[in-house]
Structure 1
Amino acid sequence: MQDIQPRGLRRTAAAAYIGISPSLFDRARAAGVIPAPRQMFGVALWDRHDLNSLFDGKPAMKADNDNSSDYWDRECATGNLAS
C-alpha cells in the first residue's frame, strides 16, 4: 500500500515539514511570515501548498484585512441607501 501524505498538517507537523521547531513556527506565525491555518472539522490545519510557497519566495496568504485604511468598512457600514 502506498503511503499517503496529508495535505493538511497540524501545528507540530507543519513546523517539522518546513524544518523548524514548533516555538519558532509560532513566532513566525505571529510575525505574519507563516500563513494562517485553515479551520476544517474543528481542527487548525496548515495547507502543505501554503507552506511550500514559503520556499518558493511567495508571500504568505493573508486572510485578514491588510489595508491600512478602513475607508470601505466605513462606507459600506453607513446604511445610507439614498443615492
Structure 2
Amino acid sequence: MTPFQYDAGRPRPGQQAYVIEIGETQAGLVSRRGDERYFTFIAASSTFHALEGHRFATPGAAELAARQLAAPRRGGTARLAS
C-alpha cells in the first residue's frame, strides 16, 4: 500500500487514500474522508471490479481482499476456514 495525496501534494484535512498493489499490478485505491469510518475501494482494472464500492475497515483489509481475488483458483470448491 502506498499513501496517495490529492491536490498535487496538498492533503485535505482528515482525508486518507492508499493505492493497493498486488505485485506489480495496481488493483485500485481505497479512500475515506475525515468524517467517514470506512475506506471505499475504487478498482483500477476489470480484474478487481468485484471490489468496486466495497467498504473496508482498514487499507490492509482491502489489500487482503484484492490478493484473494487475484489468487489463482485451485481445483475443487473453495472452503472457508472455521
* Structure 2 length-normalised TM: 0.28
Point out the structure with the larger helix share.
Answer: 1
Relative CO higher for 1 or 2, CA cutoff 8 Å, sep ≥ 6? 1
Specify the structure having the higher radius of gyration (Cα): 1
Structure 1 or 2: more strand by fraction = 2
